[in-house]
Amino acid sequence: MTCSEQTSSVAVDTADHKQPPATGGRAVVIALVLATGTAVLVGAEFVPAGVLPLLAGDLHVTEGRAGLAVAATALAGAITAPTISSVLPRADRRRVLLGLLALAFVSNVLVALAPTLPLLLAGRVLLGVAIAGYWSFTFGVGVAITGRPALISTAMSLGTSVATIVGVPLASVLGDSIGWRGVFVILIAATAASWLAVARLLPPVPAHPGAGSVMMRQALGNRRLMAGVAMIALAAFGNFAAYPYIRVALQAVTPSLVTVLLVAWGIGGLAGNLAGGWLSSRLRLGVALAPAILLVGLALMALHPSTVVVALAVVAWGTGFNMVPVTTQLWVSRVEPKRVESAVSLQVTAFQAAITLGAVVGGLVVDHRDVWTAMAVGAVATALAAVGFAVIRLVPRAD
């Protein structure tokens, strides 16, 4: 089966029970609407990395403990992703997406008002549920409406890239002027705008006829898929053992260029997003290359011999990591073309579980050693992911 045939099989399997696919400009609009939701949710997930010193100081906790604001979100996501389709097997997917965006709105309100770390973490748990559900359903929703998996995967990763280009550096700048709580107020408004866009522009999308626990059990029986999910978890762990502490690292090397280098990370992310889409016809190469580039960035950060090297490391880091979601999402959908919703849910689970573990391990390393050791830990994990993906064959499941 060729790559184009694999892509077609995914589209047909996801959309054959719905209305004819949207075409042309309407397909692009749908993709952009879904990408906007992704950008808002991912921005909310990782904004703490841009305001970590401020958040830690205001709540009177260490920066390692403040990093749990990322871990709590990811833990909730790891639990939610593999179960939400079973809880909502027949719910209209447009309504589900609207409910998840509403949950993110409530989360941001709670975080903006939280007087203590435990209350803040409670709000972040709600965000984890929203993110995991949105990521699990959006790919299938987008393909059902447009019939174009590569467009939807690229759009979702583009939303992630925009969130990192704009969200983290902008949060860093705004946090210094209006406070970290003010940043979350802005996120509240952005989440409301995304909800309105989805409500206005997306048509109803019925659930896949086979969605639910049976589909998930069948996907779990695909050993090649599960091996890939393990590699996804390694790549994500490697990134998130270090990413919540990126601002701490940059301030230690070059305090005056922190915002510039955060933007450089995001620009690298945009390049990685585009590269991941370009490699959609060579996915075995793409899924191995992404963690390999991430490895280079983290290894150079761990060494940090000069500002120039750190700048190059940041760009490589952003490029490699942002290739991972788009290439792996397409990879799992091609390995398991008849159970795409469950396959993507497992990808999301791997990401969120790895974010949780990565943030916790990274926080412990930062508190007990230093931020550079956290970068080295991440580099080792991404090296294993690159090697693993290089040896796993990309063969779609036939049954």
pLDDT digits (tens, 9 = 90+) for 71-84: 788 788 888 877 77
pLDDT higher than 60, residue 186: yes
Overall pTM surpassing 0.75 (yes/no): yes
Q: What is the pLDDT of residues 79-117, one digit of tens each?
A: 887 777 777 777 888 999 999 999 999 999 999 999 999
C-alpha dihedral over 83, 88, 94, 98, to 10 degrees?
-70
Averaged pLDDT of the chain: 85
125 confidence band (pLDDT: 50, 70, 90): very high
What was the pLDDT predicted at 172?
Answer: 79
pLDDT higher than 80, residue 15: no
What was the pLDDT predicted at 72?
Answer: 84
Amino acid at 123: G
| Whether 135 contacts 127, CB under 8 Å | no
What was the pLDDT predicted at 9?
Answer: 43
What was the pLDDT predicted at 20?
Answer: 65
What was the pLDDT predicted at 22?
Answer: 65
Q: What whole-number distance in Å separates Cα of residue 136 and Cα of residue 26? A: 22
Non-local (6+) Cβ contacts of 370 within 8 A are none
Q: Per-residue pLDDT averaged across 3-32, rounded?
A: 60
Nearest to 362 by CA among 350, 381, 377: 377
Domains of the chain, residue spans? 3-391
Mark out the alpha helices in the chain (DSSP H runs): 3-15, 24-50, 52-59, 63-66, 68-80, 84-87, 93-113, 117-146, 149-162, 168-178, 180-201, 213-220, 223-240, 246-253, 258-278, 283-303, 307-335, 340-368, 371-391
| Whether 240 contacts 77, CB under 8 Å | no
CA 9 to chain centre: 25
Assigned fold of 3-391: Growth Hormone; Chain: A; (1.20.1250)
Structure tokens at 335: 């390995």
